[in-house]
Structure 1
Amino acid sequence: MAFRWSRMSPQLALTPAVAITVVAFIGSILWTIYVSFTSSKAFATYGIDFTDWARQYERLFKDKGWTIALKNMLVLGIGSFLAIVFGFILAALIDREKRGEGFFRTVFLYPLAVSLIVTGVAWRWMFNPSFGLQGALHSIGLTFISFDWLSKPETAMYGIILASVWQGAGFYMALMLSGLKSINTEIWSAARLDGVSFWRLYAEIIIPMMKFTFLTCAILLSLGVVKAYDIVVAMTNGGPGQATWVPGYFTINAYWVKSNLAYASAAAALMLGITALIFLPLVLLTAWRERARTS
């Protein structure tokens, strides 16, 4: 009996966590999807008109704001990929220069300790044309430089990308550095003996060996891009106009500003679908590569 109890005790200990996950996570997802087929406004109503059950989704795809949000999400994803690139470059430089490694690793990781809200506010100040970087440069005579990106619809998203890359590069640097540390030192020694150039070493040997690390970074980056909201609110609040709307901002705006719960739920359900389309293939590819590596 004691042996059986010892086997059951871990399952019993995990039962509250599993119950909370099922109710709060899976249950809320199913509830949101269901509500998206209703005509709920500020509060949920659970009647579904089956003659027009997809009207919220039809409205969504006709909404110019949703189209802008999807395009901005794509732009943000492509631009934010620079965080992985810079993270790898920083990791490679730190790994080659052993002196001061702890200091530089702390410096580059510091932005990660700052919340996205604080990051957004700080960069909004820097982009301010009066007392930001532009004002400082103009005060020393460099009046030809323009750094008021957030005030222009065509450049506002690039300002958000710049702030996101600054905030996230240190995190990806830490992941890349751990990947570089896991590479056998004999590979570096053999490359030096064979006279392999610096660029060939990284392009043909190191980067292919770190493909699992790059894949992990891509998964984390894609999730962050799809759920992006706080940095947009802090820097532009979706403006100018709708120039910096992203799916997360659109969803929150649909409920709190338009008081349309069903419409916001439809947007949230599509965000879940986008996440699944991006996340699941990457996870399956990661699992397949890991299985192939261990077999």
Structure 2
Amino acid sequence: MALRWSRIAPQLALTPALAVTAVAFVGSIGWTIYLSFTRSRRLPEYTIDWSEWGRQYQRLFNDAAWGISLRNLIVLGLGSALAIVFGFILAAMIEREKRGESFFRTVFLYPLAVSLIVTGAAWRWMFNPELGIENVLHQMGLTFVNFSWLASAETAMWGIILASVWQSSGFYMALMLAGLKSINSEIWSAAKLDGVPIWRLYVEIIIPMMKFTFITCAILLSLGVIKAYDVIVAMTLGGPGQSTYVPAYFTIQALSASGNLGYASAAAVMMLVITAIVFLPLVLLTAWQQRRRAEAVR
């Protein structure tokens, strides 16, 4: 009886968590998908007009603002990938130079302690031509400098990318540093004895050995980019015009500003599809790599 109870107890302990997941996560996804086929406005309507069941999705794909959101999502994803690059460079520099490691690690991690709302507000002030960096540089006589990126539709997304990279580089640096410290020190010693150039050591040995770390960073980055909302609100509110719309901001605007629950649900479902398209291949790649590693060990 004691042995049987020891087997049942873990399942019983997990039951509340599974129930919450089923209701709050799976149930919410199902409810959102259902509402995306209805004409729900501010309040949900549960009647589906089967003659126009895809009406909300047709409107969505014909909406120019949604097209802008998807384009900005790609731009934000590619630009934010620089955070992984900078994180690896910072981690490599800290790993090679042991003196002051704790100090520099703390300094580079500090932006992570600041929320994206605060980060966005600070960078919005720095991009302000009357109060920020541009004003300081003009007072120094560098009047040719233009740093008011948020005022232009062509450069506003680059300002958001700059703020996002600044805020998240320290986080990826910490992950990369953990990956670098897990590498056997004998590899570094052997490469030094053989006279292998440091760049070649990183490109041909260190980076391939850290592929799981890079995949983990890519997964976390993709999830953060897809749900990006607070930094947009803090810096541009989607402007100028609709030039910095992203899917998450578009969805919230459709729900709060337009009061269209069905339309916002359709946008949310498409965000789920985008997440699956980006996230699942990375997860499958990680599982495949781990399986190959396990087979190689056997």
**Shorter-chain TM-score: what band?**
over 0.9
Deviation at 1:273, TM superposition (A): 0.1
SS in 1 for 2:98: coil
Question: What's the counterpart of residue 236 of structure 1?
Answer: 236
Deviation at 1:140, TM superposition (A): 1.4
Deviation at 1:9, TM superposition (A): 1.1
Q: Answer yes or no: is 1:2 the counterpart of 2:2.
A: yes
Question: What's the counterpart of residue 131 of structure 1?
Answer: 131
Q: Name the aligned partner's letter for residue 269 of structure 1.
A: V
Q: Answer yes or no: is 1:42 the counterpart of 2:55.
A: no
Q: Name the aligned partner's letter for residue 34 of structure 2.
A: Y
Deviation at 1:4, TM superposition (A): 1.3
Map of 1:1-295 to 2, 5 A cutoff? Answer: 1-295=1-295
TM-score (norm. length: structure 2): 0.98
Q: Which runs of 5+ in 1 are unaligned?
A: none
State the distance in 2 between where 1:86 and 1:4 align.
52
Q: Deviations over 1:206-245 (max 9, x none)?
A: 1111111111101110111111000000000000000100
Deviation at 1:187, TM superposition (A): 0.6
Q: Deviations over 1:225-283 (max 9, x none)?
A: 11100000000000000010000000000010110000000000000000000000000
Deviation at 1:87, TM superposition (A): 0.1
Structure 1 residue runs of 4 or more that deviate by more than 3 Å after TM superposition = none
State the distance in 1 between where 2:173 and 2:209 align.
16
State the distance in 1 between where 2:7 and 2:124 align.
55
Percent identity reads 72
State the distance in 1 between where 2:291 and 2:43 align.
47
State the distance in 2 between where 1:211 and 1:6 align.
39
State the superposition RMSD in angstroms.
0.6
Q: Deviations over 1:149-169 (max 9, x none)?
A: 000000000000000000000
Aligned residues: 295
Deviation at 1:139, TM superposition (A): 1.1
Deviation at 1:143, TM superposition (A): 0.7
State the distance in 1 between where 2:186 and 2:292 align.
23
State the distance in 2 between where 1:26 and 1:101 align.
44
TM-score (norm. length: structure 1): 0.99
State the distance in 2 between where 1:25 and 1:110 align.
32
Q: Name the aligned partner's letter for residue 229 of structure 2.
A: Y
